[in-house]
Amino acid sequence: MSYQPIWDGRSGYGGEKGGRHTLRKVILALLALGVLFFAALEVYIGLHSRDKIVGEPKIMVIFGCKVEPWGPSILLQDRLDAALDYLKDHPDMEIVVTGGKGDDEHQSEAQCMYDYLTAHGVEGEIIVLEDQSRNTWQNVNYTLELKERAGGFTSSEFLLVSSGFHLARIQMLWDRAWTGTCTISTLAAPVSHIPSAIQMFFREPLALVKSFVFDR
Strands of the 157-163 sheet, one edge to the other: 127-130, 94-98, 59-63, 157-163, 183-189
Of 24, 48, 72, the residue at which a domain comes to its end is 48
Contacts of residue 172, Cβ cutoff 8 Å, sequence gap at least 6: 208, 211, 212
Instruction: Assess whether 44 and 54 both reside in one domain.
Output: no
Task: Cite the beta strand spans of 87-213 per DSSP E.
Answer: 94-98, 127-130, 157-163, 183-189
Instruction: Assess whether 122 and 160 both reside in one domain.
Output: yes
pLDDT in tens, 126-153: 999 999 999 999 999 999 998 777 677 7
Instruction: Assess whether 89 and 150 both reside in one domain.
Output: yes
Instruction: Assess whether 8 and 44 both reside in one domain.
Output: yes
- Predicted pLDDT at 57: 95
Distance between CA atoms of 174 and 160, rounded to whole angstroms? 10
- Tell me how crowded residue 56 is: count the other CB atoms within 10 A of its CB: 13
Q: 134: exposed, middle or buried (C-beta count within 10 Å: 0-12, 13-18, 19+)?
A: middle
Instruction: Assess whether 64 and 170 both reside in one domain.
Output: yes
Instruction: Assess whether 11 and 83 both reside in one domain.
Output: no
Domain span at residue 23 reads 1-48
- Predicted pLDDT at 8: 52
Segment holding 179, helix H or strand E: none
pLDDT in tens, 60-69: 999 999 999 9
- Predicted pLDDT at 2: 56
What is the total count of domains within the chain? 2
Instruction: Assess whether 86 and 13 both reside in one domain.
Output: no
CB 189 within 8 A of CB 161: yes
Instruction: Assess whether 39 and 62 both reside in one domain.
Output: no
* Backbone torsions φ then ψ of 176, nearest 5 degrees: -75, -35
Instruction: Assess whether 96 and 114 both reside in one domain.
Output: yes
Instruction: Assess whether 181 and 109 both reside in one domain.
Output: yes
Specify which residues 60 forms β-bridges with. 95, 159
Instruction: Assess whether 114 and 74 both reside in one domain.
Output: yes
- Predicted pLDDT at 25: 86
Distance between CA atoms of 90 and 121, rounded to whole angstroms? 13
Distance between CA atoms of 74 and 92, rounded to whole angstroms? 26
Specify the pTM.
0.88
